[in-house]
């Protein structure tokens, strides 16, 4: 597997546990170990930079590379993973059991900033599958609406079925949650007899 992606994601995951308030339960010595071994505090904003955010897992990987591995991120990733496996980062629990019978199973860890450039997960990939599909559909419908509005502004005559489709999208966005219940009613109606065989882009 990709050592750099795994090492960066590991550091991001542990950091997120601390930000969620589970640091003492999951990895009580991780912050101190990073200071001692790598020379940086993973929960402090970097000095001298214009950014006001904390280091990401990817940032930490390159910090280790610069400080300990002659700037080589592959060597740094191996060092981080070996330190983790050998216990040099202290005891680390990546999964959190429920604290009481009222908790609904294992605590979910939402990694707030992924390491997408190294093959990790970004914000969109942490979403549930249904949410991702809904987001894609909304983005697709918005692009279609903008395209039709632009075509009308330029005086392009659109086929009736295209306008009905975009009108249906606009109605659905205003309806909100009620649109799910009326999904069948919003489907594209069958074409009229004089529209059969007419392409969507005829006359464009």
Phi, psi at 10, each rounded to 5°: -60, -45
Helix, strand or coil, per DSSP, at residue 78: helix
**Tens-place pLDDT, residues 38-50:** 999 998 887 755 5
Task: Please report the pLDDT score of residue 52 as a whole number.
Answer: 64
Task: Please report the pLDDT score of residue 142 as a whole number.
Answer: 82
Instruction: Name residues whose C-beta falls within 8 Å of residue 193's C-beta, 6 or more positions apart in sequence.
Output: none
Task: Please report the pLDDT score of residue 204 as a whole number.
Answer: 45
Task: Please report the pLDDT score of residue 135 as a whole number.
Answer: 74
Mean pLDDT by 10 residues, the chain (204 residues): 90 90 90 94 75 82 93 94 95 82 71 47 47 73 82 81 66 47 52 58 50
Q: Cα-atom radius of gyration of the chain, to the nearest Å? A: 26
Task: Please report the pLDDT score of residue 95 as a whole number.
Answer: 83
Task: Please report the pLDDT score of residue 188 as a whole number.
Answer: 58
Is residue 62 a contact partner of residue 76, using CB atoms and an 8 Å limit?
A: yes
- What is the value of pTM for the model shown? 0.54
């Amino acid at each position: 597997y990709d050592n750099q992606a795994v090492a960066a994601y590991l550091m991001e995951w542990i950091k997120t546990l601390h930000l969620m308030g589970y640091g003492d339960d999951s990895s009580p010595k991780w912050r101190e170990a990073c200071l001692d071994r790598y020379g940086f505090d993973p929960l402090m904003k970097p000095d001298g930079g214009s950014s006001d955010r904390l280091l990401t897992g990817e940032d930490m990987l390159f910090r280790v590379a610069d400080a300990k591995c002659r700037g080589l991120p592959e060597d740094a990733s191996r060092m981080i993973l070996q330190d983790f496996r050998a216990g040099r980062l202290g005891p680390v629990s990546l999964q959190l059991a429920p604290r009481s019978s009222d908790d609904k199973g294992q605590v979910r860890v939402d990694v707030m900033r992924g390491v997408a450039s190294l093959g990790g997960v970004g914000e969109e990939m942490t979403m549930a599958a249904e949410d991702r599909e809904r987001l894609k559909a909304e983005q697709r419908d918005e692009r279609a609406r903008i395209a039709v509005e632009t075509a009308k502004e330029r005086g392009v005559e659109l086929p009736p079925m295209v306008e009905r489709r975009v009108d249906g999208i606009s109605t659905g966005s205003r309806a909100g949650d009620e649109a799910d219940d009326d999904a069948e009613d919003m489907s594209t109606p069958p074409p009229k007899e004089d529209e059969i065989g007419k392409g969507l882009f005829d006359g464009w």
